[in-house]
Amino acid sequence: MNRNVNQQTVRKAKAALIFSMVIFGSVGILVHYIPLPSSVIAFSRALFGGLFLYVITRLRRIPLSREQLRKNAKLLVLSGALLGFNWIFLFTSFKYTTVAVASICYYMAPIFVVLLSPFLFQEKLGPVKILAVAMAFAGTVLVSGLLQNQGVVNPLGVMYGLLAAVLYAGVLICNKKLQNLSAFESTIGQLASAAVVLAVYILGNEAWWALSCTPFQFLLLMILSLFVTGFTYALFFGSMPYLPAQTVAIYTYIDPILAVLLSALALHEPLTLEIIAGGILILGATALTEFATQRSLS
């Protein structure tokens, strides 16, 4: 009986993980239809997504340790700031290039972590990781449009996507250094920090008093903030304790693959053979690094 219950729990966890990855893959589509500055979209996502997660923890009586949050405060503020500006660059990338190109460039983040690991964590770059890095950079060259005769890809959009990846790599590195925090605690702390940092940025750099959007566009913003961020993060974190790390890593590739497909199908954005080949190289490189990491831990 217990075995059946456990299997059912695992199936539900897999379904929740897959659903959350599908929803994450729609971020670019939603942002495409929200005519607000990237900083304002990022602020809304951090504020309302964080509040939603906090309410979920209270309703489900998930403990939040104020002591551990206080001990990790500096890292949480730093990672929150990196997260907020990472979203700004990613959303700006969507405006300058296709959702597919921006999403593929964004997936360079794990590769940047691999490159920094020897300096920050004294981890060696084995042959598999070196191959992965070479594949990723070859993929970036293809995606960037440097080898194309016609300007299908805007280089500025590629640059913003890669900057977003660099900042998200910083978030991943900070997460490795956080101590004694659950996924809910660290994420709520980061989203709260991001909301504060972005609020200060908006007050100083955006004409926030002149912003406007239609009721439908505001609804899309709330869907992105409450549902895509808050609710879907809760699903994602709720599924992780019941699944092996390798399973979680494999299913996360649903996000960029779906983003690429939606870019072509929903937005009718150009999807060249170079972009497809580059995407395969970059996603394959991140899969290789994940394989190498899991193998070293086993």
Cβ atoms within 10 Å, residue 17: 23
* pTM listed for this prediction: 0.90
What is the spatial distance between Cα 237 and Cα 220, in angstroms, rounded to a whole number?
Answer: 23
Question: For residue 259, what pLDDT band results from cuts at 50, 70 and 90?
Answer: very high
CA-wise closest residue to 109 among 133, 126, 93: 133
Chain mean pLDDT for the chain: 88
Indicate whether 150 pLDDT > 60: no
Burial letters for 95-133: b for 16+ Cβ neighbours within 10 Å, e otherwise?
bbbbbbbbbbbbbbbbbbbbbbbeeeeeeeeeeebeebb
Q: Which of 40-49, 68-77, 108-117 has the lowest mean pLDDT?
A: 108-117
Indicate whether 149 pLDDT > 70: no
What would you report as the CA-atom Rg of the chain, rounded to the nearest whole angstrom?
19
DSSP 212-245: ---HHHHHHHHIIIIIIIIIHHHHHHHHGGGS-H
What was the pLDDT predicted at 141?
A: 87
Question: For residue 1, what pLDDT band results from cuts at 50, 70 and 90?
Answer: very low
What was the pLDDT predicted at 146?
A: 66
Are residues 108 and 282 in contact, defined by beta-carbon separation less than 8 angstroms?
yes
Are residues 9 and 241 in contact, defined by beta-carbon separation less than 8 angstroms?
no
What was the pLDDT predicted at 155?
A: 86
CA-wise closest residue to 126 among 249, 246, 281, 293: 293
Any residues with CB less than 8 A from the CB of 6 and at least 6 apart, and which? none
Question: For residue 233, what pLDDT band results from cuts at 50, 70 and 90?
Answer: very high
